[in-house]
Structure 1
């Protein structure tokens, strides 16, 4: 049975933005504010560091029923029994990921245009990370921003749950949900703020209000 997940407020970690407070403590505060899913993204650090960080995150997330997704690194996900893996268009193919992680874990796939919704890539996937909506400095090699119209086009072409990313913040969170997204993915607005709990609570309230409306 596939592990459950809620895309409403999807936090993607960034060790540089977390600073001296660290990734684990930042996540601890953010989940108290309402984060519903966490992705460990750390393309720079070595495997041991990733495993140690992932294990520490699971210790605080699993008792709360919040899934941990590992960006790209299937080996790290398996080593700590993470809840899933997120891959991009140039990463391991989703069918290979599914074969490695089994039928129960979650797979997310980044897409930025309708033409990337290829059946053989989409069939093993549980949700889509769509964007970037706007330019973002946290991922300078990201594709060209697609705006909310681009989200709407992907929403119309796929029944999979969608979380939008790339320049999303409280001020445009309602527009993100109205464009067809099931949630918003946040990096700097939470990882780089002085009060992750308060900012997460503010973002979560925006998402919840938009869904209720």
Structure 2
């Protein structure tokens, strides 16, 4: 199961993006999305370069939100396309595999469209109630989420309201991973908590 952390430097001490991202990387997340839309390109480029170099020790995949051109220039492993971002198929043609293309989705139709267009994975949500995702409508709920996971021909990562006690539930529902900001960035001790989150996911995957 993919543990997919999404940065938010406002949740780190002193707003230090690099420290937050580096800590998550070293603590054991599988994928790390740099999602700092207000930062200038050069600063994002420099941060990505540092993280990509550091990621070689841990096998973490570094993605950038929205900017496939900047991600590629910095040597990052992929891009995360927002639901209103560039077309998946256009990005895939410009950036062949192994460059990762991940898409934000909010419905079964969007998941299937992203898959057909060449996405490697999608985030799907909100699965649960969460204020940050209220503009996207009512939460899917775990039963509908599970139904979409069963139909989807690519990994579907749960997003929205996924707390530690719910990781086992989304894993049992067939999630290919969990994507979140606060679940990962709000940890007091990521080096202890992230292995514990992975253990919860593995327990859920074993459920019938």
Common topology (TM > 0.5): yes
1:155 maps to which of 119, 144, 149: 149
Deviates more, 1:160-169 or 1:41-50: 41-50
Alignment correspondent of 1:197? 191
Q: CA deviation at 1:55?
A: 1.4
2:159 paired with 1:165 = yes
The answer to whether the 8 A contact 2:127-2:161 is kept is yes
Query: Which runs of no fewer than 5 residues in structure 2 stay unpaired?
Result: none
Listed one character per residue, the Cα deviations across residues 31-76 of structure 1 (whole Å, up to 9, x for unaligned) are 3433111111112222112112211211221222111111111121
Aligned Cα RMSD in Å? 2.1
- CA–CA distance in structure 1, aligned partners of residues 7 and 28 of structure 2: 15
- CA–CA distance in structure 2, aligned partners of residues 131 and 149 of structure 1: 13
- CA–CA distance in structure 2, aligned partners of residues 51 and 149 of structure 1: 40
The aligned length equals: 207
Alignment correspondent of 2:126? 132
CA shift in 2, pair 1:156/1:17, >3 Å: same
Query: Which runs of no fewer than 5 residues in structure 1 stay unpaired?
Result: 1-6
- CA–CA distance in structure 2, aligned partners of residues 199 and 77 of structure 1: 28
The answer to whether the 8 A contact 1:131-1:164 is kept is yes
2:12 paired with 1:34 = no
In the TM superposition, 1:104-115 aligns within 5 A as: 104-115=98-109
CA shift in 2, pair 1:200/1:164, >3 Å: same
Q: CA deviation at 1:137?
A: 4.3
The answer to whether the 8 A contact 1:128-1:161 is kept is yes
2:18 maps to which of 16, 20, 24: 24
TM (normalized to structure 1)? Answer: 0.87
- CA–CA distance in structure 1, aligned partners of residues 190 and 15 of structure 2: 11
Q: CA deviation at 1:196?
A: 2.2
Q: CA deviation at 1:120?
A: 7.0
Alignment correspondent of 1:67? 61
1:50 maps to which of 34, 44, 47: 44
- CA–CA distance in structure 1, aligned partners of residues 203 and 112 of structure 2: 33
SS at match of 1:63: coil
Query: After the TM superposition, which segments of 4 or more aligned residues of structure 1 sit over 6 Å from their partners?
Result: none
TM (normalized to structure 2)? Answer: 0.89
